[in-house]
Amino acid sequence: MIDVDGIVRIIEERKAKTIGLQFPEGLKRQGPGIAKDVEARTGALVIVSGDPCYGACDIDDSLLDMVDVLFHFGHSRLMDDDRIVFIEYHHEVEVDTAIRNALPLLGQKVGIVTTVQHIHMLKRMEQLLIEAGKTPVIARGDSRITYPGQLLGCNFSATPAGVDTVLYVGSGNFHPMGAQLSTGVPVIAADPFTGEARKVDVEKIMRQRYALMAKAMDAKKWGIIIGTKTGQKRLELARRIKETAGDATLISIREITPDRLLSFKVDAYVSTVCPRVAIDDAGRFGVPVLTPVEFDIVKGLRKWEDLAFDEIKGE
Ligand code: SF4
């Protein structure tokens, strides 16, 4: 449920005349209704971003330049800019069933991690583990992470060390696989939407990644992809990779598609943008698209057994 009263209050406090609204794909359909409501209650001109939005890193900069305040929905704060107001979205779904189903799979000392959509249930998660006689551990991540216990798809720094098992509460595979690869301890994923719990298996993804790295060993020409989204720019990293790669071109792309990559006729890419792009979309690209971690392995700068998901770290 989006708090329109809170949005109206901020607009009035700031005496803002032009407002931007930016939604992730799952919330976009609420855009026209909220825009109409806000316009009627404040008299401000409201513009809704129609571009794709995948995370708090993905600010619509062009829209931001046109408005007094940009409300960015669905994600927690990632950067400090007074013109941007992050409005989180919390799923109103109970976690009890999924966690109870996870209990037989957990060790004694359990690290808890989740996404911002379930972060308001963190206390309840902790309480359920204590009631079951477990020792829950919640850690604080780096500066990219707003809440203790929160994961991003590009940052697993809030995954506790020194535990027997990690409990991930949420849906999807990417976050729990990243947590497992970053800690090396078993991760149990408990999905509040289905109530199911399972042990996370990273074997298949590891095999896929090793196959792509093996293919990239023969690459003569490299493309190094640089992101243009505010929270995904890693120019220094791209520069370092270019120096190691040999015959390499730095290429800036906002939205990566297979067609855009095919145009350049290179043998392999290294993506320094959102770490999920290289992993989630691997099957769509005609050539290997590696993460910086994988590139280092191919070039002998890191051991093959040290494969981990790429992360964009804060301070
Ligand atoms: S870089 Fe990717 S995983 Fe990280 S916040 Fe942005 S969209 Fe999410």
Nearest atom in ligand 1 to 153's CA: 3
Tell me how far apart the alpha carbons of residues 88 and 1 are, in angstroms, rounded to a whole number.
10
Ligand 1 atom nearest the C-alpha of 55 is 7
Q: Kindly list the distances between the CA atom of residue 92 and the CA atoms of 1, 53, 125, 192, in Å, as whole numbers in the listed order.
A: 9, 22, 14, 10
- Which tokens belong to 183? 């800690």
pLDDT value of position 102: 98
Q: What confidence tens digit (pLDDT) does each residue in 75-85 have?
A: 999 988 999 99
Q: What is the pLDDT of residue 222?
A: 98
| Distance from residue 272's CA to the centre of ligand 1 (Å) | 12
Q: What is the pLDDT of residues 104-137, one digit of tens each?
A: 999 999 999 999 999 999 999 999 999 999 999 9
Mean pLDDT across the chain: 96
Closest ligand 1 atom to Cα of 78: 5
Domains delineated in the chain: 4-87 (3.40.50.11840), 96-199 (3.40.50.11850), 203-306 (3.40.50.11860)
pLDDT digits (tens, 9 = 90+) for 225-269: 999 998 999 999 999 999 999 999 999 999 999 999 989 999 999
261, 281 in Cβ contact below 8 A? no
- What's residue 291's pLDDT? 97
pLDDT at 256: 92
pLDDT, average across residues 35-59? 96
In this predicted structure, the answer to whether residue 2 has a pLDDT above a threshold of 90 is no
Pick the atom of ligand 1 nearest to 155's CA.
Answer: 4
Index of the ligand 1 atom closest to the CA of residue 57: 6
Task: Give the closest residue (by CA) to ligand 1 atom 3.
Answer: 153
Pocket test for ligand 1, best of 88, 232, 256 (most atoms within 8 A of CB): 232
Nearest to 309 by CA among 178, 147, 122: 178
pLDDT > 90: percent of the chain: 94
Residue identifier of the C-alpha nearest atom 1 of ligand 1: 274
Give the distance (Å) from ligand 1 centre to CA of residue 85. Answer: 18
Average pLDDT over residues 66-78: 96
Q: Compute the average pLDDT of residues 24-52.
A: 96
Cβ < 6 A, ligand 1 pocket: 54-58, 152-154, 231-232, 274, 276, 312
- Closest ligand 1 atom to residue 75 Cα is 5
Protein residue whose Cα sits closest to atom 5 of ligand 1: 55
- Render pLDDT for 144-158 as a digit per residue (tens, 0 to 9): 999 999 999 999 999
**Does residue 289 surpass a pLDDT of 90?**
yes
- Give the mutation target among 276, 281, 291, 310 for probing the ligand 1 site: most ligand atoms within 8 A of CB: 276
Distance 231 CA to ligand 1 centre (A): 8
Residue of the CA atom closest to atom 8 of ligand 1:
55
Task: Using the predicted structure, report yes or no on whether residue 285 has a pLDDT greater than 90.
Answer: yes
Place of tokens 């350049």: 264
What spacing in Å lies between the alpha carbon of 80 and ligand 1's midpoint?
16
Tell whether the model's pLDDT for residue 1 goes beyond 90.
no
